[in-house]
Amino acid sequence: MIKTGKISEVKENVRKWKKAGLSIGLVPTMGYLHEGHASLIKKAREENDKVIVSDFVNPIQFGPKEDLGTYPRDFEADCKLCEGIGADLIFHPEPSEMYEGDFHSYVGVNTLSEGLCGKTRPIHFNGVCTVVTKLFNITEADRAYFGQKDAQQLAIVRRMVRDLNYNITIVGCPIIREEDGLAKSSRNTYLKPDEREKATILHKALSEGERMVRDGETDANKVVKVVRDIIESEPLAKVDYVEIVDWNELQKVEKIDGPILMAVAVYIGKVRLIDNFIVENSMVIEMV
Protein backbone atom coordinates (compact mmCIF):
# COMPACT_ATOMS: atom_id res chain seq x y z
CA MET A 1 0.00 0.00 0.00
CA ILE A 2 1.29 3.42 -0.96
CA LYS A 3 1.36 5.95 1.89
CA THR A 4 1.69 9.55 0.90
CA GLY A 5 0.90 13.07 2.01
CA LYS A 6 1.66 14.61 -1.37
CA ILE A 7 -1.02 15.54 -3.89
CA SER A 8 1.54 15.17 -6.72
CA GLU A 9 2.28 11.56 -5.71
CA VAL A 10 -1.42 10.64 -5.66
CA LYS A 11 -1.85 12.22 -9.09
CA GLU A 12 1.16 10.35 -10.47
CA ASN A 13 -0.34 6.99 -9.42
CA VAL A 14 -3.80 7.97 -10.65
CA ARG A 15 -2.34 8.86 -14.07
CA LYS A 16 -0.69 5.43 -14.27
CA TRP A 17 -3.87 3.60 -13.23
CA LYS A 18 -6.09 5.58 -15.59
CA LYS A 19 -3.70 4.90 -18.47
CA ALA A 20 -4.05 1.16 -17.73
CA GLY A 21 -7.86 1.52 -17.82
CA LEU A 22 -8.32 0.76 -14.12
CA SER A 23 -11.29 2.01 -12.08
CA ILE A 24 -10.72 3.94 -8.85
CA GLY A 25 -12.80 3.98 -5.65
CA LEU A 26 -12.31 6.73 -3.07
CA VAL A 27 -13.19 6.58 0.63
CA PRO A 28 -12.86 10.03 2.24
CA THR A 29 -12.27 9.87 6.01
CA MET A 30 -10.89 11.89 8.89
CA GLY A 31 -8.96 8.87 10.18
CA TYR A 32 -9.11 7.08 13.54
CA LEU A 33 -10.71 4.35 11.51
CA HIS A 34 -13.23 1.86 12.89
CA GLU A 35 -15.55 -0.81 11.47
CA GLY A 36 -17.85 1.85 10.01
CA HIS A 37 -15.03 3.15 7.83
CA ALA A 38 -13.90 -0.43 7.17
CA SER A 39 -17.30 -1.28 5.69
CA LEU A 40 -16.91 1.56 3.16
CA ILE A 41 -13.36 0.51 2.27
CA LYS A 42 -14.48 -3.13 1.83
CA LYS A 43 -17.29 -2.07 -0.50
CA ALA A 44 -14.87 0.10 -2.48
CA ARG A 45 -12.49 -2.90 -2.64
CA GLU A 46 -15.26 -5.07 -4.11
CA GLU A 47 -16.31 -2.57 -6.76
CA ASN A 48 -13.05 -1.02 -8.04
CA ASP A 49 -9.63 -2.01 -9.38
CA LYS A 50 -7.86 0.50 -7.15
CA VAL A 51 -8.90 1.89 -3.76
CA ILE A 52 -7.75 5.20 -2.30
CA VAL A 53 -8.50 6.10 1.33
CA SER A 54 -8.02 9.71 2.34
CA ASP A 55 -7.14 10.24 6.00
CA PHE A 56 -7.34 13.95 6.71
CA VAL A 57 -8.81 15.92 9.60
CA ASN A 58 -10.13 18.74 7.46
CA PRO A 59 -9.68 22.01 9.39
CA ILE A 60 -12.11 24.06 7.30
CA GLN A 61 -15.12 21.96 8.33
CA PHE A 62 -14.61 22.72 12.05
CA GLY A 63 -16.08 25.78 13.73
CA PRO A 64 -13.88 27.88 16.05
CA LYS A 65 -15.33 26.24 19.19
CA GLU A 66 -15.27 22.67 17.85
CA ASP A 67 -12.88 19.79 18.46
CA LEU A 68 -10.28 20.22 15.68
CA GLY A 69 -7.41 20.25 18.19
CA THR A 70 -8.53 17.19 20.13
CA TYR A 71 -9.97 15.08 17.27
CA PRO A 72 -8.49 11.57 17.79
CA ARG A 73 -5.69 10.53 15.45
CA ASP A 74 -3.76 7.24 14.96
CA PHE A 75 -2.23 7.07 11.51
CA GLU A 76 -0.31 3.83 12.13
CA ALA A 77 -3.46 1.97 13.18
CA ASP A 78 -5.30 3.47 10.18
CA CYS A 79 -2.60 2.16 7.82
CA LYS A 80 -2.90 -1.33 9.34
CA LEU A 81 -6.68 -1.36 8.89
CA CYS A 82 -6.46 -0.14 5.28
CA GLU A 83 -3.67 -2.58 4.43
CA GLY A 84 -5.70 -5.43 5.96
CA ILE A 85 -8.61 -4.69 3.65
CA GLY A 86 -6.35 -4.31 0.64
CA ALA A 87 -6.50 -0.57 -0.06
CA ASP A 88 -3.93 0.55 -2.63
CA LEU A 89 -3.15 4.05 -1.39
CA ILE A 90 -3.68 6.04 1.78
CA PHE A 91 -3.52 9.81 1.37
CA HIS A 92 -2.59 11.63 4.58
CA PRO A 93 -1.77 15.25 3.76
CA GLU A 94 -0.80 18.07 6.07
CA PRO A 95 -3.34 20.92 6.13
CA SER A 96 -0.76 23.12 4.34
CA GLU A 97 -0.66 20.64 1.44
CA MET A 98 -4.44 20.96 0.97
CA TYR A 99 -4.80 24.67 1.79
CA GLU A 100 -1.95 26.89 0.73
CA GLY A 101 -1.73 30.33 2.31
CA ASP A 102 -3.57 32.01 -0.57
CA PHE A 103 -6.45 29.50 -0.71
CA HIS A 104 -9.72 31.29 -1.52
CA SER A 105 -12.09 28.85 -3.30
CA TYR A 106 -15.06 27.20 -1.62
CA VAL A 107 -17.88 24.95 -2.79
CA GLY A 108 -21.29 24.86 -1.09
CA VAL A 109 -24.81 23.52 -1.47
CA ASN A 110 -27.56 25.92 -0.37
CA THR A 111 -30.80 24.92 1.39
CA LEU A 112 -29.74 21.33 2.19
CA SER A 113 -26.85 22.68 4.30
CA GLU A 114 -28.97 25.07 6.33
CA GLY A 115 -31.08 22.77 8.57
CA LEU A 116 -30.24 19.87 10.91
CA CYS A 117 -26.49 20.00 11.72
CA GLY A 118 -26.12 23.14 9.58
CA LYS A 119 -27.93 25.18 12.23
CA THR A 120 -25.28 24.64 14.90
CA ARG A 121 -22.44 24.09 12.41
CA PRO A 122 -22.94 26.89 9.84
CA ILE A 123 -19.62 26.50 7.97
CA HIS A 124 -19.38 22.73 8.27
CA PHE A 125 -20.89 21.58 4.99
CA ASN A 126 -19.07 24.17 2.86
CA GLY A 127 -15.87 22.79 4.38
CA VAL A 128 -17.00 19.24 3.55
CA CYS A 129 -18.01 20.10 -0.04
CA THR A 130 -14.72 21.91 -0.61
CA VAL A 131 -12.49 19.11 0.65
CA VAL A 132 -14.55 16.45 -1.12
CA THR A 133 -14.29 18.42 -4.38
CA LYS A 134 -10.52 18.60 -3.98
CA LEU A 135 -10.34 14.86 -3.26
CA PHE A 136 -12.50 14.04 -6.29
CA ASN A 137 -10.22 16.15 -8.51
CA ILE A 138 -6.99 14.78 -7.04
CA THR A 139 -8.04 11.11 -7.27
CA GLU A 140 -10.23 11.23 -10.42
CA ALA A 141 -12.23 8.47 -8.70
CA ASP A 142 -15.05 6.68 -10.54
CA ARG A 143 -16.90 6.05 -7.26
CA ALA A 144 -16.81 7.58 -3.80
CA TYR A 145 -18.19 5.91 -0.67
CA PHE A 146 -20.06 7.74 2.09
CA GLY A 147 -21.82 6.42 5.20
CA GLN A 148 -25.47 6.99 6.00
CA LYS A 149 -24.20 7.72 9.52
CA ASP A 150 -23.71 11.27 8.21
CA ALA A 151 -26.96 11.32 6.26
CA GLN A 152 -27.06 15.09 5.69
CA GLN A 153 -23.51 14.96 4.33
CA LEU A 154 -24.47 12.09 2.00
CA ALA A 155 -27.51 14.02 0.68
CA ILE A 156 -25.44 17.19 0.18
CA VAL A 157 -22.57 15.47 -1.63
CA ARG A 158 -25.03 13.63 -3.88
CA ARG A 159 -26.74 16.92 -4.70
CA MET A 160 -23.44 18.68 -5.38
CA VAL A 161 -22.40 15.90 -7.76
CA ARG A 162 -25.73 16.06 -9.57
CA ASP A 163 -26.02 19.86 -9.70
CA LEU A 164 -22.44 20.48 -10.81
CA ASN A 165 -22.07 17.46 -13.15
CA TYR A 166 -19.16 15.78 -11.39
CA ASN A 167 -18.07 12.58 -13.17
CA ILE A 168 -18.35 10.36 -10.14
CA THR A 169 -20.88 7.96 -8.64
CA ILE A 170 -21.70 8.43 -4.95
CA VAL A 171 -22.31 5.16 -3.12
CA GLY A 172 -24.21 5.36 0.20
CA CYS A 173 -23.42 2.68 2.81
CA PRO A 174 -25.45 1.56 5.86
CA ILE A 175 -24.70 2.56 9.45
CA ILE A 176 -22.44 0.14 11.34
CA ARG A 177 -23.28 -0.13 15.05
CA GLU A 178 -21.83 -1.43 18.28
CA GLU A 179 -23.54 -4.51 19.71
CA ASP A 180 -25.75 -2.36 21.96
CA GLY A 181 -26.89 -0.25 19.01
CA LEU A 182 -24.68 2.84 19.37
CA ALA A 183 -23.57 3.98 15.90
CA LYS A 184 -19.80 3.59 15.59
CA SER A 185 -17.99 6.92 15.54
CA SER A 186 -14.45 8.17 16.10
CA ARG A 187 -15.97 10.63 18.60
CA ASN A 188 -17.33 7.76 20.80
CA THR A 189 -13.84 7.69 22.37
CA TYR A 190 -14.68 11.02 24.06
CA LEU A 191 -17.43 9.32 26.12
CA LYS A 192 -16.71 8.50 29.77
CA PRO A 193 -17.84 4.97 30.79
CA ASP A 194 -21.19 6.10 32.25
CA GLU A 195 -21.83 8.36 29.23
CA ARG A 196 -20.97 5.52 26.86
CA GLU A 197 -23.61 3.40 28.58
CA LYS A 198 -26.25 6.16 28.39
CA ALA A 199 -25.43 6.96 24.74
CA THR A 200 -27.52 3.95 23.64
CA ILE A 201 -30.58 6.15 24.25
CA LEU A 202 -30.23 7.57 20.69
CA HIS A 203 -30.68 4.18 19.08
CA LYS A 204 -33.38 3.14 21.55
CA ALA A 205 -35.38 6.27 20.76
CA LEU A 206 -34.89 6.01 17.00
CA SER A 207 -35.88 2.34 17.07
CA GLU A 208 -39.19 3.36 18.63
CA GLY A 209 -39.64 6.04 15.95
CA GLU A 210 -38.88 3.48 13.29
CA ARG A 211 -41.43 1.08 14.76
CA MET A 212 -44.11 3.78 14.68
CA VAL A 213 -43.42 4.65 11.04
CA ARG A 214 -43.28 0.96 10.12
CA ASP A 215 -46.66 0.50 11.79
CA GLY A 216 -48.09 3.22 9.55
CA GLU A 217 -47.87 6.41 11.63
CA THR A 218 -47.86 9.35 9.21
CA ASP A 219 -47.97 12.25 11.70
CA ALA A 220 -44.32 13.38 11.82
CA ASN A 221 -44.80 15.54 14.93
CA LYS A 222 -46.17 12.56 16.86
CA VAL A 223 -43.10 10.48 16.00
CA VAL A 224 -40.75 13.37 16.80
CA LYS A 225 -42.39 13.86 20.21
CA VAL A 226 -42.08 10.19 21.17
CA VAL A 227 -38.42 10.05 20.12
CA ARG A 228 -37.61 13.35 21.87
CA ASP A 229 -39.38 12.24 25.08
CA ILE A 230 -37.41 8.99 25.19
CA ILE A 231 -34.11 10.83 24.73
CA GLU A 232 -35.03 13.43 27.34
CA SER A 233 -35.87 10.70 29.84
CA GLU A 234 -32.10 10.26 30.11
CA PRO A 235 -30.74 12.98 32.43
CA LEU A 236 -27.28 13.00 30.79
CA ALA A 237 -28.80 13.64 27.34
CA LYS A 238 -29.47 17.11 25.92
CA VAL A 239 -31.24 17.29 22.58
CA ASP A 240 -29.73 19.52 19.88
CA TYR A 241 -32.40 18.49 17.37
CA VAL A 242 -34.89 15.70 16.64
CA GLU A 243 -36.38 16.11 13.16
CA ILE A 244 -38.15 14.36 10.34
CA VAL A 245 -37.29 15.86 6.94
CA ASP A 246 -37.91 14.79 3.37
CA TRP A 247 -34.97 12.81 2.03
CA ASN A 248 -34.52 14.99 -1.07
CA GLU A 249 -34.57 18.60 0.12
CA LEU A 250 -34.03 17.95 3.84
CA GLN A 251 -36.97 20.20 4.73
CA LYS A 252 -39.21 19.49 7.75
CA VAL A 253 -42.36 17.47 6.98
CA GLU A 254 -45.65 17.32 8.88
CA LYS A 255 -46.95 14.23 7.10
CA ILE A 256 -44.90 11.14 6.27
CA ASP A 257 -45.92 10.28 2.73
CA GLY A 258 -42.63 9.97 0.84
CA PRO A 259 -38.95 9.25 1.45
CA ILE A 260 -37.98 10.72 4.82
CA LEU A 261 -34.94 11.04 7.05
CA MET A 262 -35.41 11.02 10.80
CA ALA A 263 -32.25 12.49 12.32
CA VAL A 264 -31.14 13.35 15.84
CA ALA A 265 -28.20 15.21 17.33
CA VAL A 266 -27.80 14.81 21.07
CA TYR A 267 -25.22 15.91 23.62
CA ILE A 268 -24.29 13.16 26.06
CA GLY A 269 -22.40 15.18 28.61
CA LYS A 270 -20.22 17.38 26.39
CA VAL A 271 -20.07 14.92 23.47
CA ARG A 272 -22.33 15.62 20.49
CA LEU A 273 -23.58 12.43 18.82
CA ILE A 274 -25.71 12.00 15.69
CA ASP A 275 -27.82 9.11 14.44
CA ASN A 276 -30.70 8.59 12.02
CA PHE A 277 -32.85 6.31 9.96
CA ILE A 278 -34.22 6.69 6.44
CA VAL A 279 -37.59 5.50 5.20
CA GLU A 280 -37.93 5.29 1.44
CA ASN A 281 -41.26 4.45 -0.16
CA SER A 282 -42.75 3.67 3.24
CA MET A 283 -40.12 1.01 3.76
CA VAL A 284 -37.50 1.36 6.48
CA ILE A 285 -34.10 0.72 4.90
CA GLU A 286 -31.87 1.36 7.89
CA MET A 287 -32.19 0.20 11.45
CA VAL A 288 -30.55 -2.76 13.07
> E strands of the chain, at which residues?
2-4, 24-29, 50-55, 89-91, 143-147, 169-173, 237-246, 260-268, 271-280, 283-284
Shortest spacing between CB 54 and ligand AMP, in angstroms: 9
* CA separation, residue 56 to residues 32, 49, 82, 90, 95 (Å): 10, 23, 14, 10, 8
Q: Which residues are catalytic, by number?
A: 37
On the 0-12 / 13-18 / 19+ scale of CB atoms within 10 A, 89 is buried
CA-atom Rg of the chain in angstroms: 19
Shortest spacing between CB 173 and ligand AMP, in angstroms: 6
Which residues make Cβ contacts (< 8 Å) with residue 16, sequence separation at least 6? none
Shortest spacing between CB 245 and ligand AMP, in angstroms: 17
Residues that bind ligand AMP (CB under 6 A): 29-30, 36-37, 39-40, 146-147, 149-150, 173, 175-176, 183-186
For residues 239 and 232, the answer to whether their CB atoms sit within 8 Å is yes
C-alpha distance across the termini of the chain, in Å: 33
DSSP-derived secondary structure letter, 146: E
Shortest spacing between CB 55 and ligand AMP, in angstroms: 8
